[in-house]
Structure 1
Amino acid sequence: MKILVTGCAGFIGYHVAEALLARGDKVVGIDNLNDYYDVRLKQARLDRLKPRTAFAFHRVDVADKDAVGRLVIDHGDLDGIIHLAAQAGVRHSLVDPYTYVQANVMGHLVVLEAARRLPGLRHLVYASTSSVYGANTSLPFRETDRVDTPVSLYAATKRADELISHAYAHLFGLPQTGLRFFTVYGPWGRPDMAYFSFARAIMLGEPITLYDDGRLRRDFTYIDDIVAGIVGSLDKPPEDSAVPRLLNIGNHRVEEVRELVRLLEDALGRKAIIRSAPRPAVDVAATHASVEAIGRLTGFSPSTPLAIGIPRFVSWFQTWRNG
């Protein structure tokens, strides 16, 4: 197959592109390489993909309708799209809200418009987020739960994407699956994520801030499990293209953030300097994914607990930091 991967220099996009190439697919990757975090990390991921003959990279902003339109004309034989490009980060949406609407809402619309003009497109898989569950307190989160109480602009833009996708499936019969990611972590990860910034601070002897004494609970999901779920979903288009799917993709295990810190301390061989603060308004107390639906569809069965995934991340992190 020939697959377009948006955000291919990002954390998840890079790993997905690697997996598709490894199984023999052709990958067309786009990314704008913005400076939300260290561009050198994005470039390093991209440098690992570029030597592959089945990989073609285009530096394109996903919200640029003209550039994406031209690209789709040039690659009109695409079989699938995995749309991962977005402005990530819950707290940063308080700092730069306009970027979130431009990248996440306009970018999603641009991809949908391009997708509906591809005659051979079998499936569009796109990234949503567990953040859409917002103030919901019923655990585990299920796809049938109400999602009309977002607590961040980031979550609101991702819920908007889900609704726009529903309209495009209804109007144009565009086969789609939205995946609600739960706290993805692992090697080549994002420096703005807690596990990455904690590791850096612990190594440098700098303090870290734990909200509510580290008692916030998260469904931490290792990158290899996430990739398996994404690729498995891509291979299972909806039987009725007018009815889009929404699926949770998580670890189905809940850990307190202070356990994450303990595992980082063990793997790094250093103690954290901890400061406590109240939970910000944009953070929820807990996330927990029900993964029965994606399991029935694809056989998805996450197999990497935090106690295994964090040492793997630390091994990569120390190599990257010393490289």
Structure 2
Amino acid sequence: MPLSTDPKINETSEALKETLKGAFHTPPGYRPAHARGILLNGTFKPTPEAASLSSAPHLNAPSTPVIGRFSNSTGIPTIPDNDANANPKGFAVRFTLPEKDGRRQHTDIIAHSTPFFPVNSGAGFLALLGAIGASSAPDAPKNPSPIEAFLGKTPSALAFVTAPKPFPTSFGTEKYFGVNAFKLISSEGKETLVRYRITPDAGESYITDEEAKAKDAAYLHNEIQTRIIDGGVSFSWWVQIAEEGDITNDATERWPEERKLVKLGTITLEKVSDDNDEEQRKLIFDPIPRVAGFDVSDDPLLDQRADLYLASGKERRAAGPHH
């Protein structure tokens, strides 16, 4: 999993990492985005349909071990679960695959609780963060402020910012979306362009902003641990299938809701991971699948996200254990 060979991507990743850390005053050893989270262990079981779409090992084995990470937005490791800035919530899943040639293998999903992404490039994300930062400066222009001006000329960012982001009752009653497009490749070589969706088997459930204010600052992290003790939590992993003409290289462009959904399988989480803080520091999720049976689409955000996650992860590991 090398850093990108494109110096422009590396440069943007470095700028994004430092800008995010600066914006949130993220301490060493934590992610500059989605810093506060919890790891859980479980299993994935595929549907019979999954094998017809992809030759990937986890879609063709009876079951595969998984690690799931629920998280809050921002690079603030102490952000309360009931802070509006902690939405959207994140959900990442690692599938631990059989060893190959003596090497450990895995593939990951990265999703969050809104179907939108505010921008379609690393440079666009940097411009968004720059506008947010400039707006909080003491001498920032008013009417419009830098962020108002940016949102005024970037409809996708405006849609993201203004989309409702209700507080879930539980990490286990929230739905999650993968905003990038991927290719599934069958054993016959047939390619299917898809986007991921993950839906809670317990059903979606939300609370009002007023109810959230009355909750404990760790209400979601505590609730999910209780839910695990009470029998676990499960999700259905779906793919939304693109049709002719659907845009696959722009994460801000949603596909029509009537596109076919196919269930790939069930993700069940049954245990809170041991050494949670230390494992979170070491674990680097990868937006690029890097496994047979899956491939990237033409979305340029994928390389940028992967480069940023890896650069950030290497820095976290170098920082040593949390104190």
When normalised by structure 2's length, the TM-score is 0.26
Point out which structure has higher relative CO (alpha carbons under 8 A, 6+ apart). 2
Question: Whose helix fraction is larger, Structure 1's or Structure 2's?
Answer: 1
Question: Whose strand fraction is larger, Structure 1's or Structure 2's?
Answer: 2
When normalised by structure 1's length, the TM-score is 0.26
